[in-house]
Amino acid sequence: MSNNTKQTVIHVVSSLKVGGAERFVIDLCQEQLQLGMDVAILSFGLPEDALVKVCRELGLQFFILSGKSWQAQLKRYQILSKFDVIHLHSPAVLKSLIFHVMLLKNKTLIYTRHGAAPLRETHWVWLHRLARRFISAVTFVSADAQRTFGHHDWHNVPQYIIDNGVKLPTEVITSEHTGMAANIDILRLGSVGRMVKLKSQLSLLQAVSQMDIESQHKIELHFFGDGELRSQLEAFHQQHSGIKAVFHGMETNRENIYPNIDVLVVTSSTEGLSMVILEAMAYGKPVIATRVGGNPMLVKAGETGFLYEFNDIEALSSLISGLLQRNEQRQKLGTQAREWVNQQYSLAKTAGHYKELYSVK
Q: pLDDT tens digit string along 262-280?
A: 999 999 998 888 999 999 9
- CATH number for 8-164+347-358: choose from 3.40.50.2000, 3.30.10.20, 3.40.50.720, 3.90.950.10: 3.40.50.2000
pLDDT at residue 6 in the model: 82
How far, in Å, are 191, 222, 244, 286 from residue 303 at the CA level? 20, 24, 28, 9
**Strand bridging mode 38-43 / 108-113:** unpaired
Q: Where are the domains of the chain?
A: 8-164+347-358, 175-344
Q: Do domains 8-164+347-358 and 175-344 have the same CATH topology?
A: yes
Whole-number Å distance between alpha carbons of 273 and 116: 9
pTM: 0.82
- The more confidently predicted of residues 48 and 5 is 48
We find that the CATH architecture of domain 175-344 is 3-Layer(aba) Sandwich (3.40)
Whole-number Å distance between alpha carbons of 28 and 24: 6
Q: Confidence band (pLDDT; 50, 70, 90) for 86?
A: very high
pLDDT at residue 183 in the model: 58
Q: pLDDT tens digit string along 150-189?
A: 999 999 999 999 999 998 887 665 444 444 445 568 999 9
